[in-house]
Structure 1
Amino acid sequence: MRKLLLVFSIGLLFIIPLALITALALALEDHPRIDRQVILTPEHIGRAKQIVDAHRYWVHPGMLVAARVTPADADLAVNYLARRLGKGSAQVTFADRNAIIRLSLPTSATPFFGRYLNLEASLVETDSLPQLRSMQIGKLPLPDMLTDILVLQLVHWLRRSPEYRAGLDAVKRVKVSRNQLSIVYRWADDFSHEMRASIIDERERERLLRYQTLLAANSKQNKAVSLAEVLSPLMRVAANHLPNGDALAENRAVILVVTFHVLGVSPEGILPAMAATWPRPAPQEITVDGRGDLAKHFMVSAAIAAYADTALSDAIGLYKEIEDSRHGSGFSFNDIAADRAGTKFGEKAVASSTSARELQRRFLSGLEDADLMPAWSDLPEFMSEVEFKQRFGGIDAPAYRRMMEKIEQRVAALPVLQYSNSPDVAVQLE
């Protein structure tokens, strides 16, 4: 009997690792099954804004409402999230009462297994939330019972976060058809406050408070001031928190605080409880080359790039200009130049530790608006939609592309975006 148990135990020692190796070999593949670019257009941003606005202005706590999304927009959103969060690609195809999800994510390269995790599953409509069925990872099919267990564990993990818990509690049903995805939810009174507060962790709150306090101390009542003058002391303090600090996180905090100040809004919007007691800077008009609109374009694009990604920032900036050409001040290439300069600034601020430190070093010797914003006075502005199309033919026409190439060249040459060979240094605060 003892010999039989010994043989069985030795067998398990070989069978379990062999089963795991086989599962990995089946699950991981050499090539992605889905490989798609994320292409965001002003039309996509416009439709997203319409959905948000429609619910923001008339939905009240306790109401049961439905958000309706086209299959194309839902597919784009899923692909965007896959690219943004996992550097992968995704695709969703819709039918009546079910959808097929395909996802490809890169994994750490190994000498023995494939480099991509390819997942395919059916999302089946129920009377509440959809259920995953027929899941397959690479060449490895998963029984529905195992899929249910994995989903339950995932939901349990997500519910630890206030923002995900609030979202899961709010959503009551998801209806799927060939032509529409309907998300039925009930808006809770504390839903938005809980989500916004959970986005910012304690360390990030400390950083934001640090730069908010410094900004308040530096501001002067009713004084117009250049953006470079506002950014410089905060970036010098960010550099002083090296080498032990997180350069990317410091830069993000500076950008967010300055963006709030430029827009004239309070951090209470994302920290409703804590930021109410923070010091407030005096109201100021922040300008770039004497223009407040350029400062707003620059900082909003920088914040989007620092906290999201470049594609989203570019699409939102272009959407704003197209809307202005229809209803506002008109299409302005100088606003586009400010958008692109801000996007590149935000991108460099968080691209890597080296890039983040280099950006901080650029502020040590002092910068002016001309170091942040390219030459713009010769760029066409205040064009109506009709004039814009007459002169440039639309956003896909050669004349428009030539103008954008000129702007990109000017932005690329900005001193703040250049790299130097100077060593890392820290600022000694007075």
Structure 2
Amino acid sequence: MSVIRFLGALITGLLAAIVLLIVLILDTSPSVSANASEQIADADTVKKLLAQIRRSINDRERGHVITISEQQVESLIGFVQRAAPYIHGTSAIHPDHGTIEASVAVPAAVTTLYLNLEIKVLPADRLAIDHVRMGSLSLPGPFAVGLVESALNIYTDSEIGTQAKEQITRVAMTETQVAVTLQPMDSFLRQLNEIRAGFDEEERDELTKLTAYYLRYIAGREIALKKKPQPFNAYLNLIMARAREQSTQDNVLQHNKAAVLALAIFIGHHRIANFVGDVQPDVEHALKPASSVLLRGRSDLSKHFIISAALKMLSEQDVTVAIGEFKELMDRGMGGSGYSFVDLAADLAGVELARVLADPDTALRAQNTLASTPDESVYMPEVDGLIEGLSKQEFTRRYEKVDSEAYLQEVEQIRAKLAQMPFYNRESAG
């Protein structure tokens, strides 16, 4: 009887602790209210940050200093908010500290509650977190970092959390930017690859196997060896015809997903494989077509289209569209191709393609249509008349920001074109 009482008291205590924790960390109102369209106005500045990160990875035998401006941080936070509208965040950089704040909406039974976060970073010869605040609960920085470090180490059965923390050897701040000094990345990246390989071996599921199968299949077709540019539609015909041969009503969604992912890896970018697993026959030589693949006569559109379809298969629609939009905003800067509603049309069409292929009510019909359609007009709208090549200055003059009425009208015109296409029309989709 005493044991039962003890267990009852223990359970009651745990429930009380959970309730107390919820009360402490959740608030009834957000602490941050940020406008994502204003935050991503300087998305073009992120290109410089990405270039620094690429250098630190490619030249992994040497240490590097990554300089991050407040504009870049705000742009990335704005991207997150466009992809996940329930998150609002902001940042600030000062010579003696930097802060990141966020409010995450948490739907509750009666009302919406908010997880309000604040992380304060200090300049130091290491990663120094002053505190992490969640609602009314404030954790000392070293304790919070230690928790994350231990969790990563335990989850991966490695020392990757410790290595990640020790990669940072100095953090310096000015009024407008943070300079993070990193140790050579070679050892850390090797450890990451070992962990990923271990997970792939343990968790190599049916999707990974199917994607590898379709990748080998499309790479072995005669069209993939031709030296002249080939139509995207021919590739799509081939891979969807193969998927149709392999599919039943029970497994059609898995085959459609694997076929799209394989085509995205082959035509779009080989790094899409990182989201799927070990699918390349030779990891040192990624499979790719011998010549460019054209959609509406352009190789860039085929990449936009199929990568967006793949990302939609792997994530939520808001994430996929936000990635495409952010990429276009980055292209407005010097050296970029400029903001393109043509590219955005291909992104949105790819999202729609994934939608009909992933819907149990339309998957088989869509598969059958794509296996035999004679041209791309079934799934890719005309792009004549859509504006592209806009510099940052011209984009701002015309549209101001990405939630302005003028901008939303342009996007709505593209969506209207897609809605009018029988292949995507929800009412005639059955």
Q: Could you say whether these structures have the same fold, taking a TM-score greater than 0.5 normalized by the shorter chain as the test?
A: yes
C-alpha displacement of 1:128: 0.8
C-alpha displacement of 1:99: 2.5
1:216 aligns with 2:219: yes
CA contact (8 A) 2:214 2:258 kept: yes
Q: What is the alpha-carbon distance in structure 1 between the residues aligned to residue 31 and residue 252 of structure 2?
A: 36
CA contact (8 A) 1:43 1:319 kept: no
CA contact (8 A) 1:304 1:313 kept: no
C-alpha displacement of 1:49: 1.9
C-alpha displacement of 1:11: 7.1
What residue identity is the alignment partner of 1:64? G
CA deviations over 1:375-418 (Å, ceiling 9, x no partner): 2345567x7969x959x954449887765554443233334433
1:315 aligns with 2:326: yes
CA contact (8 A) 2:74 2:91 kept: yes
Q: Report the secondary structure of 1:99's partner residue.
A: strand
CA contact (8 A) 1:27 1:139 kept: yes
Q: Report the secondary structure of 1:32's partner residue.
A: coil
CA contact (8 A) 1:166 1:191 kept: yes
2:72 maps to 73
C-alpha displacement of 1:129: 0.9
1:89 maps to 88
Match of 1:361 among 361, 365, 372: 365
CA deviations over 1:122-155 (Å, ceiling 9, x no partner): 333432112242x433234446786465344344
CA contact (8 A) 2:31 2:116 kept: yes
Q: Report the secondary structure of 1:309's partner residue.
A: helix
Structure 2 unpaired stretches of 5+: none
1:426 maps to none
C-alpha displacement of 1:93: 2.4
Q: Among all aligned residue pairs of Structure 1 and Structure 2, give the percentage whose two residues are the same amino acid.
A: 17
1:136 aligns with 2:147: no
C-alpha displacement of 1:86: 9.5
Q: What is the alpha-carbon distance in structure 2 between the residues aligned to residue 13 and residue 401 of structure 1?
A: 52
Aligned residues: 407
1:231 aligns with 2:210: no
1:373 aligns with 2:371: no
Q: What is the alpha-carbon distance in structure 2 between the residues aligned to residue 110 and residue 74 of structure 1?
A: 34
TM-score (norm 2): 0.72
1:170 maps to 167
C-alpha displacement of 1:364: 1.4
C-alpha displacement of 1:217: 3.4
2:147 maps to 150
Q: What is the alpha-carbon distance in structure 1 between the residues aligned to residue 339 and residue 72 of structure 2?
A: 28
Would the alpha carbon gap of residues 245 and 97 (structure 1) be closer, same or farther in structure 2, given more than 3 Å must change?
farther
Would the alpha carbon gap of residues 400 and 28 (structure 1) be closer, same or farther in structure 2, given more than 3 Å must change?
closer
Q: What is the alpha-carbon distance in structure 2 between the residues aligned to residue 305 and residue 209 of structure 1?
A: 19
C-alpha displacement of 1:74: 1.7
CA contact (8 A) 2:267 2:288 kept: no
Match of 1:262 among 262, 267, 271: 267
Q: What is the alpha-carbon distance in structure 2 between the residues aligned to residue 230 and residue 359 of structure 1?
A: 18
Q: Report the secondary structure of 1:259's partner residue.
A: helix
Q: What is the alpha-carbon distance in structure 2 between the residues aligned to residue 41 and residue 27 of structure 1?
A: 26
CA contact (8 A) 2:312 2:354 kept: no
Correspondence 1:316-335 to 2 at 5 A: 316-320=327-331, 322=332
Q: What is the alpha-carbon distance in structure 2 between the residues aligned to residue 45 and residue 360 of structure 1?
A: 40
Q: What is the alpha-carbon distance in structure 2 between the residues aligned to residue 165 and residue 145 of structure 1?
A: 13
What residue identity is the alignment partner of 1:259? A
Q: Which has the larger radius of gyration?
A: 1
Q: Report the secondary structure of 2:46's partner residue.
A: helix
C-alpha displacement of 1:421: 6.4
Would the alpha carbon gap of residues 283 and 70 (structure 1) be closer, same or farther in structure 2, given more than 3 Å must change?
same
Q: What is the alpha-carbon distance in structure 2 between the residues aligned to residue 212 and residue 176 of structure 1?
A: 46
Q: Report the secondary structure of 2:186's partner residue.
A: coil
Q: What is the alpha-carbon distance in structure 2 between the residues aligned to residue 216 and residue 364 of structure 1?
A: 21
What residue identity is the alignment partner of 1:172? T
Would the alpha carbon gap of residues 139 and 246 (structure 1) be closer, same or farther in structure 2, given more than 3 Å must change?
farther
1:32 maps to 30
Would the alpha carbon gap of residues 169 and 370 (structure 1) be closer, same or farther in structure 2, given more than 3 Å must change?
farther
Q: What is the alpha-carbon distance in structure 1 between the residues aligned to residue 80 and residue 427 of structure 2?
A: 34
C-alpha displacement of 1:81: 4.4
1:63 maps to 62
CA contact (8 A) 1:301 1:317 kept: no
CA deviations over 1:267-315 (Å, ceiling 9, x no partner): 6985799541799565244222444343234334445555553112123
1:419 maps to 426
Q: What is the alpha-carbon distance in structure 2 between the residues aligned to residue 61 and residue 145 of structure 1?
A: 28
TM-score (norm 1): 0.72
